[in-house]
Structure 1
Amino acid sequence: MRERQASRNARRTREFEAFVAGAGGRLLHTATLLTAEPRNGNPRARRLLTASLAHTYAVWDRLHGEDPYDRTRQYLAVRFARGAWHQYGGPVRVLLRGRAVPDGVLRNLTPQERLILVLRMYEGVAEEQAAALLGLPAERVRVICARAMATLLHPPREGAAPIAKVVPS
Structure 2
Amino acid sequence: MSESFHEFVVQRSPALSRTAYLLTGDHQLAEDLLQSALARTYRHWRRIHGGDPEAYVRRAMYHQQVSWWRRRRVAERLEAVPTERPRDDHSDATALRLTLDAALRRLTPRQRAVLVLRYYEDLTEAQVAEVLGCSIGTVKRHGHDAVRRLRAIAPELVDRPAERSVR
What TM-score do the two structures reach when normalised by structure 2? 0.66
Which residue is equivalent to 1:164? none
Q: State percent identity of aligned pairs.
A: 30
Which residue is equivalent to 1:22? 11
Post-superposition Cα deviations, 1:118-163, rounded to whole Å, max 9, x if no partner, equal: 11112233324434544544333213212323444564379xxxxx
* Number of residue pairs matched by the alignment: 134
- Larger Cα-atom Rg: 1
- Does residue 107 (structure 1) correspond to residue 138 (structure 2)? The answer is no
Which residue is equivalent to 2:20? 31
What TM-score do the two structures reach when normalised by structure 1? 0.66
8 Å CA contact 1:128, 1:138 repeated in 2: yes
2:4 corresponds to which letter in structure 1?
E
Which residue is equivalent to 1:60? 45
8 Å CA contact 1:106, 1:114 repeated in 2: no
Q: Bigger relative contact order, structure 1 or 2, given CA contacts below 8 A and separation 6+?
A: 2
Matched residues in 2 for 1:20 and 1:133: separation? 19
Post-superposition Cα deviations, 1:31-66, rounded to whole Å, max 9, x if no partner, equal: 0000112xxxx1111100000011111111122511
8 Å CA contact 1:34, 1:118 repeated in 2: yes
Question: Can you give the 5+ residue segments of structure 1 that lack an aligned partner in the other structure?
Answer: 1-8, 90-98, 159-169
The match for 1:71 among 47, 56, 61 is 56
Which residue is equivalent to 1:163? none
Matched residues in 2 for 1:104 and 1:16: separation? 37
Q: Closer, same or farther in 2 for the Cα pair 1:132/1:22, shift >3 Å?
A: closer
Matched residues in 2 for 1:137 and 1:68: separation? 21
By percentage of residues, which structure has more helix? 2
